[in-house]
Amino acid sequence: MKFSIRNTDLPGVLEIESPVHGDDRGFFTEVYNADRWLPAGFPRQEFLQDNISCSSSGTLRGLHYQIDPHGQGKLVRCLQGRVFDVAVDIRRGSPTFGQWTGRVLTRENGLALWVPAGFAHGFQVLEDQSIVIYKCDACYAPHAERSILWSDPAIGIQWPGRTTSLSEKDANAPTLAEADYNFVYTPEA
């Protein structure tokens, strides 16, 4: 496997593939390397917070974001198990507003997803004891935290598994039409 950074169908959301080197001792992979990633097209970031979650199969977390000026980009990778990771464009005026993209992330496939500010993020856990790490370019700000209903038919995410566990906040989140967000699409020059 060769290192690569690829665009997704949502401008700004990137798929990163990093080689996973494994042997009888375990495995090694780079979570982030500015010297290699920036020349390959990854936007310059200052990561300020790292999070790890461990969840059982059927758990759905999301769709989460923080409103500006606390917008939070996330570099998401699965260290153990398997998750379906999703980004939804919530930038007013964007040609892809309300559209989503998703990837199955596993340790074995070496994929990560970059979800910049202006996108809601969530994932569905497809295997027990799945461990997800995400590097964030802004710190958690509880007063800026927002969510959108994971099953909003206007977005139409095709979750691959059965959802059996949701937080109360996620189960009662507003639809995209009712949600509070303040991101504005700015075409790149």
Residues tagged active-site: 64, 134
What does the block give as tokens for 170?
């996620």
Distance CA 119, CA 110 (A): 22
Pairwise CA distance, residues 115 & 183, whole Å: 14
Please give the Cα distance from 134 to 55 (Å, whole number): 14
Q: Which two tokens stand for residue 112?
A: 């990560």
Measured CA to CA, the distance from residue 74 to residue 114 in angstroms comes to 6
111 preceded by a cis bond (ω within 30 of 0): no
Q: Distance between the two ends of the chain, CA-based, in angstroms?
A: 33
